[in-house]
């Protein structure tokens, strides 16, 4: 049992760190604003912020 914990705990922690960095809402919003996606998608930053609140 302890062997499984020792093997899978670091993998789990790595996946959690990756998920946090990948779905960082601030980075996503900055990219959205910088690339002016609202002109393509007709979505404002406020609408995107509301849609991504749970990230």
Cβ–Cβ under 8 Å, residues 30 and 48: no
Tens-place pLDDT, residues 11-29 = 888 887 776 666 667 777 7
pLDDT for position 48 = 67
> What are the domain boundaries of the chain?
23-55
Please give the Cα distance from 34 to 49 (Å, whole number): 15
pLDDT for position 5 = 84
Q: Where are the alpha helices (DSSP H) in the chain?
A: 2-22, 25-34, 38-41, 45-51
pLDDT for position 47 = 72
pLDDT for position 42 = 58
The model's pTM is: 0.35
């Amino acid at each position: 049992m302890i062997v499984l914990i020792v093997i899978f705990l670091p993998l789990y922690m790595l996946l959690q760190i990756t998920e946090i960095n990948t779905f960082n809402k601030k980075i996503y919003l900055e990219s959205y604003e910088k690339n002016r996606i609202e002109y393509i998608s007709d979505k404002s930053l406020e609408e995107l912020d509301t849609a991504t609140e749970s990230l």
